[in-house]
Amino acid sequence: MKTAYLTAAALLLVPALVAQDPARFAAPVRLEAGAKKLGAKSLGEGRLYPSPVLHDVNGDGLLDVVVGDLRGRITFALREKGTGAPHFAAEQKWMGADGKELDFHNW
Partner 1 sequence: MSPQFVDFDADGTLDMVAGIFDGSPHLARGTDKGHAPPEQILDRDGARIVMNAMWDFDSKPPKWVEQTRCDPEGGMLQRGHITSAWAFDWDADGDLDLLLGDHDHGQVMLRRNEGKAGAPAFATRNEYVRVGEQPLVVKGTVTTLRTIDWDGDGLLDLLVGSMGDAYGGGEGGGVYVCRNAGAKGAPRFQPPTVLIEPSARGHKDAVRPDAGLYMDAADLDGDSDLDLVVGGYSTWTPEPPALDDMQKARVAELQKQIAGLDEESQRYFEALREATKGLDDEAYTKAYAEFQKGEAGTARSARQKRQQTLREELEPLVPGMKRQSFTWYYENLAK
Residues that bind partner 1 (CB under 8 A): 1, 3-5, 8, 11-12, 14-31, 42-55, 63, 65-72, 74, 83-86, 94-98, 102-107
Closer residue to partner 1 in complex, CB, 35/42: 42
In angstroms, the CA 54 to CA 64 distance is: 6
Closer residue to partner 1 in complex, CB, 35/61: 61
Supply angle C-alpha 34, 36, 40, rounded to 5.
45
Q: H-helix or E-strand containing 11?
A: helix 6-12
Supply angle C-alpha 92, 31, 84, rounded to 5.
115
Question: Shortest gap between Cβ of 87 and partner 1 (angstroms)?
Answer: 10
Closer residue to partner 1 in complex, CB, 16/38: 16
Question: Shortest gap between Cβ of 37 and partner 1 (angstroms)?
Answer: 21
| Paired strand residues for 88 | 33, 79
